[in-house]
Amino acid sequence: MSGSGTPSRATRGCLYEGLLAVLLPVVLLVGGMGLFLTVFVHSSCGCATPARPYNGPSPSPWPVSPSQAAAAAKSFTGVDMSAGAWGSADSLLYELTATPSYAFVDGRTGRVLEAFSLDKMPASVSTSITPSAAEVAARSYLNAAGVAAVGMTSSVQLADRTSGAYFDVAWKDAGGVSGPEILVNPTTGAAFSFADMGFAPKHGLLMPVVGQAAATSLAQSSTYAAGAQAVSTDFEVTAGLTGKPLFQWLVLFNDGVLSVDAVTGQVAILKWSSSR
């Protein structure tokens, strides 16, 4: 009765459950084996705090979530990237894109295996910086990405190819095991490609070096195009014959489409008019 000093049934229920909340979790000793089981009581009392809806990201079946992979890649590219699973679920490999930047992250460890920027790739064979300047640029890139090469020895080589020249700055440990590798544009001094050579090759990842301008030039000067002018040149990542990522440029002509391998510079026909 109200005002009688006797708690109502609802009030008593809340008091009882409040008491349980203090006394529990209850630790039960199971079978005398030292195994403890903690038991929690869920309250249905009207005085309990209502449950809040879950507003977090969807759980990932992989150890590393897409958002974690994107955060790791941003340290290397400097831009926010979108992450998607590459190939089958068994590969546990993320492909990250924010054109013209690309990256690949191990879905098990969160390790950035490779990252590159298409707009920084060399377009000619001209060289305007020294090997030491290229190494400085490569070290600066590693520092910005938070990659340590302590105890490793670096080497710098100039690669001069038909598609363009670039400096290859690589690190190895005392046992000769490969570590980070950075490619530097010899004209601008910009680092345009990174790979963790201790792990990237295990996923079939190779370092692309052929940029858009070089790919267009290679396609136009090929025996297939015979000097014809390209309409457009677009980059794509597709599965190669082994299922591993293949980097290539698709060069469109009025008579068809040629592909240019972004790693080797090899030109091949995808589709071409038989009249030519």
**255 in a domain, yes or no?**
yes
Q: Check whether the bond before 25 is cis (ω within 30° of 0).
A: yes
Domain boundary among 163, 180, 204: 204
**178 in a domain, yes or no?**
yes
Q: What is the DSSP letter of 152?
A: -
**145 and 169 part of one domain:** yes
**218 in a domain, yes or no?**
yes
Question: Under a CB-based contact definition with an 8 Å cutoff, are residues 159 and 166 in contact?
Answer: yes
Q: Based on the structure, what is the number of domains in the chain?
A: 4
**228 in a domain, yes or no?**
yes
**103 and 173 part of one domain:** no
Residue 21 pLDDT exceeds 90: no
- CATH number, residue 75: 3.10.450
**229 and 194 part of one domain:** no
**234 in a domain, yes or no?**
yes
**Strands 245-253 vs 232-239: parallel, antiparallel or unpaired:** antiparallel
Domain boundary among 204, 229, 245: 204
Q: Where are the alpha helices (DSSP H) in the chain?
A: 9-23, 66-77, 131-145, 212-220
Amino acid at 146: G
**18 and 28 part of one domain:** yes
Half-sphere exposure of 57 (CA within 13 A, CB side): 8
**143 and 186 part of one domain:** yes
20: Cβ contacts below 8 Å, ≥ 6 apart: 41, 43
Provide the token pair at 238: 């597709």
Query: How far apart, in whole angstroms, are the C-alpha atoms of residue 260 and residue 118?
Result: 14
Q: What is the DSSP letter of 124?
A: S
Q: What is the DSSP letter of 20?
A: H
**126 in a domain, yes or no?**
yes
Query: How far apart, in whole angstroms, are the C-alpha atoms of residue 132 and residue 26?
Result: 67
pLDDT at 88: 67
Question: Cα–chain-centroid distance for residue 148?
Answer: 19
pLDDT at 140: 97
pLDDT at 38: 33
Question: Cα–chain-centroid distance for residue 255?
Answer: 36
User: Is the pTM for the entire model greater than 0.85?
Assistant: no
2-11 pLDDT, tens digit each? 444 444 444 4
Question: Under a CB-based contact definition with an 8 Å cutoff, are residues 156 and 131 in contact?
Answer: yes
List the strands of the sheet with 191-196, edge to edge: 82-85, 93-98, 101-106, 112-117, 191-196, 178-184, 164-172, 153-161
Confidence of residue 273 (pLDDT cuts 50, 70, 90): confident
Confidence of residue 276 (pLDDT cuts 50, 70, 90): low
**40 and 97 part of one domain:** no
Domain boundary among 119, 134, 167: 119
Residue with tokens 């677009």: 234
**87 and 98 part of one domain:** yes
**97 in a domain, yes or no?**
yes
pLDDT at 50: 39
**57 in a domain, yes or no?**
no
The domain of 1 spans 1-51
**115 and 125 part of one domain:** no
Confidence of residue 55 (pLDDT cuts 50, 70, 90): very low
Which has the higher per-residue pLDDT, 74 or 50?
74
Query: How far apart, in whole angstroms, are the C-alpha atoms of residue 84 and residue 104?
Result: 10
Query: How far apart, in whole angstroms, are the C-alpha atoms of residue 98 and residue 242?
Result: 26
**155 and 222 part of one domain:** no
Measuring CA to CA, which residue among 211, 237, 266 is closest to residue 114?
237
**129 and 191 part of one domain:** yes
**187 and 126 part of one domain:** yes
**253 and 267 part of one domain:** yes
Secondary structure in 3-state letters for 33-101: CCEEEEECCCCCCCCCCCCCCCCCCCCCCCCCCHHHHHHHHHHHHCCCCEEEECCCHHHCEEEEEECCE
